[in-house]
């Protein structure tokens, strides 16, 4: 599926000090240029009735962790790695977020082969990451905030190293903040996503914002370590698409402050695939360094 009509809007919100005022603006006034959003996904013909978000102060003080678990439904070692990832997420609620990425070089372990393996879990983004991020060694593999220090000092970690890497990443200082709000219209399957990004200090590198669409649970066959196939395996937090493209949206970092971006996206038809029911969907959003690929902050938003 392709994302549709992204508004690459980066609006700075700056607070000026007038005289010696110390007033705190808790609800910044944000302009909403909307020409690049797909308003056909908004069921009201009058777009002035759209409910734009009201932002409150982001009080986050902790840096979160994105664990990308590169897996495959015929990879016999992947279920054990998936248990490690899920365990780390469960042990660190609202701090560690898992995205299960079904991808491998040459589509290893991803092939659709009836009658059992009928679902193609691959995404354009996942296929690109395993080819473009140097050092990928095969499934299972994982990235931890896309920091280096993995196998051969790459970004790729063996599953046995995930726990130590996650625990280390959880202690790092916060350098960016991120908030997300959304509106969903079931009549059109239209999802409107709004983000507020904030850099705590002025940065010189280029940063980007990427938003994953994940399905929380997909029950489908998985090959196990003993060679058997688990017909009702619970695939967890499956990367299913990118809301704003493989490498996301570039964020301006010339000045510290708040930046706002708006996106529209057509969700897949859940009448033909019930795993796309809105209650089974979530967004994993992250700010990352476009040179090193390291994740500066990540959040997860459950949809309805």
Cα 281 to Cα 304: distance, rounded to the nearest angstrom: 8
Task: Give per-residue pLDDT as tens, 108-158.
Answer: 999 999 999 999 999 999 999 999 999 999 999 999 999 999 999 999 999
Residue 17 clears pLDDT 90, i.e. is over it? no
Angle in degrees, CA 32, 38, 44, rounded to 5? 80
Q: What is the rounded average pLDDT of the residues 244-257?
A: 84
The mean pLDDT value for 44-62 works out to 97
* pLDDT in the model for residue 201: 85
Stated pTM of the model: 0.90
Choose among 95, 105, 98: nearest CA to 81. Answer: 98
Domain chopping of the chain, boundaries: 6-11+63-302
> In the predicted model, what is the mean pLDDT of the chain?
90
Mean pLDDT of 168-179: 97
Candidates 2.60.40.10, 3.40.50.970, 1.10.3720.10, 3.30.360.10; correct CATH number of 6-11+63-302?
A: 2.60.40.10
Supply the pLDDT for residue 138.
97
The whole-number pLDDT of residue 273 equals 97
End-to-end Cα separation, the chain, in angstroms? 22
CB 142 within 8 A of CB 162: yes
């Amino acid at each position: 599926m392709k994302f549709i009509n992204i508004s690459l809007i980066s609006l700075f919100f700056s607070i000026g000090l007038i005289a010696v005022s110390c007033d705190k603006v808790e609800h910044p006034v944000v302009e909403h240029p909307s020409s690049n959003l797909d308003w056909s996904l908004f069921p009201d013909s009058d777009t002035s009735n759209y409910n734009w978000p009201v932002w409150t102060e982001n009080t986050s003080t902790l840096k979160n962790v994105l664990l990308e678990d590169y897996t495959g439904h015929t990879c016999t070692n992947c279920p054990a790695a998936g248990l490690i990832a899920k365990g780390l997420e469960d042990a660190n609620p609202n701090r560690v977020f898992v995205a299960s990425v079904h991808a491998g070089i040459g589509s290893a372990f991803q092939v659709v082969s009836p009658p059992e393996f009928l679902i193609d879990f691959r995404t354009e983004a996942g296929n690109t990451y395993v080819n473009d991020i140097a050092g990928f060694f095969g499934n299972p593999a994982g990235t931890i905030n896309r920091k280096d220090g993995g196998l051969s000092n790459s970004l790729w970690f063996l599953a046995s190293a995930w726990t130590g890497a996650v625990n280390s990443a959880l202690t790092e200082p916060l350098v960016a903040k991120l908030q997300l709000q959304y509106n969903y219209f079931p009549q059109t399957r239209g999802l409107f996503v709004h983000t507020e990004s904030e850099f705590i200090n002025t940065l010189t590198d280029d940063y980007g914002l990427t938003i994953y669409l994940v399905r929380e649970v997909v029950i489908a066959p998985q090959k196990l370590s003993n060679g058997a196939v688990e017909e009702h395996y619970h695939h967890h937090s499956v990367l299913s698409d990118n809301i704003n493209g493989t490498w996301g949206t570039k964020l301006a970092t010339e000045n510290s402050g708040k930046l706002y971006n708006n996106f529209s996206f057509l969700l897949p038809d859940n009448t033909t695939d019930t795993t796309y029911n809105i209650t089974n969907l979530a967004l994993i959003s992250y700010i990352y360094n476009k040179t090193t690929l390291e994740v500066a902050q990540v959040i997860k938003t459950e949809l309805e």
